[in-house]
Amino acid sequence: MFDHAKEALQYLLEPIGFMFYSSLYLPGTVLSLLSTGQFSTLLSPSAFKYAWFARFWAVFGPLTKQGPRETIAPLMKLAKGVVVEIGPGGGEWIDMYDKEKVTKIYGVEPNKDHHERLRKRVKELGLSDVYEIVPVGVEDLGTRWVQEGEVDSIVTVQCLCSVSNPKAMIKSLYGYLKPGGQWIVYEHVITHVGGLVAWYQWAIDFIWPHFLGGCSITRDSEKWLKETGTWSKVDLKQPDNESSYMVLPHVMGTLTK
C-alpha cells in the first residue's frame, strides 16, 4: 500500500520536477542573449521561449532518453527507405535508426537553436550522407524536399505535443506517406483516466507549455492520428511500463497506410 502511494506521488510530482529544472536555465538564457547582443530574441516572447527551451534541452534532452530508450529503440528501427522525422531537436534519438534500412532521413526542425547540436550529432554517428536537416515547418516540406506519396516512414517522437496546429500537421504528413508506409509514434497524450488525474493534468497544462517549449500534455494525438485518414493497420498502445494514472502518459506504436 505504501509503495503504491509513493509511486502515485512520484507521478504527480514528475511534471513539477521538469518545470523546476527548466526554470534553472532561465537566467543563463537571458545572460547569454545579452552577452551576444541578441536583443530581438529577448524582446520576442516566442523567440525567447525557443531559445530558453533549446538551452535547457541541450542538457536535459539526452537524459530523457535513458528511461524510454528500450521502449523507443525497437520502434525507431522500423524506419526504412525515405524517412521524415519531425522535431529531432538536438538528435537525441537518431542513433537508434538502422543504417541498413534507411536511404534518406529528412529531419524537420524549424527551431534553428537546435541545428548546431543536431549537425554535430549527425556527423558523430556517420549519417552526414543520409541525414538532411529541413529548417522549415511541415507546411513547407513539399516546396523542396519530398512530394506527396513519396515517404516510407514518418517518425514523431514527443513532438506532436509542441507544434502549433497539430491536426493540420498530421493531415499534411499523412499525404506524404506512401501506401504501405508507416507512421512511427511515441507521443505525450491526454490521460484517459478521469477524476483527480485528469483534473491535475489539465491544471498543470496551463503553465507547462511556458517551461517546456510550447509542449501541451492534454492533446488527444492518438485520436487525431487514427481519424486523419484510412489506415490498413493501427497498432497503438500505452507503454507497458507506464501506469494508467500517469500525468505524463504516452502513446506508442505504428499506423500503416
Half-sphere exposure for 123 (CA within 13 Å, toward CB): 6
* Domain-located, residue 167: yes
pLDDT at position 7 is: 64
Q: Confirm whether 44 is domain-assigned.
A: no
Tell me, yes or no, whether 58 lies in a domain: no
Residue-level pLDDT at 20: 94
pLDDT (0 to 100) of residue 3: 53
16 within some domain = no
pLDDT in tens, 92-132: 899 999 999 999 999 999 988 889 999 999 999 999 999 99
pLDDT at 8 over 90: no
Q: What is the average pLDDT across 31-57?
A: 90
Is the residue at 37 inside a domain? Answer: no
- The boundaries of the domain holding residue 129 are 67-256
- Is there a domain that residue 17 lies in? no
The answer as to whether 203 is a domain residue is yes
Is there a domain that residue 59 lies in? no
Q: Look at residue 4 and tell me whether its pLDDT is greater than 60.
A: no
Domain count, the chain: 1
CA atoms within 13 A on the CB side of 177: 28
Contact assessment for residue 106 and residue 84, using Cβ atoms and an 8 Å cutoff: yes
Measured distance CA(107)–CA(42) in Å, rounded: 27
Q: How confident is the model at residue 70 (pLDDT cuts 50, 70, 90)?
A: confident
Say if pTM beats, i.e. exceeds, 0.95: no
Q: Which of 114, 109, 111 is nearest to 132 (CA)?
A: 109
pLDDT, greater one: 228 or 90: 228
* CATH number of the domain encompassing residue 83: 3.40.50.150
The pLDDT assigned to 192 comes to: 86
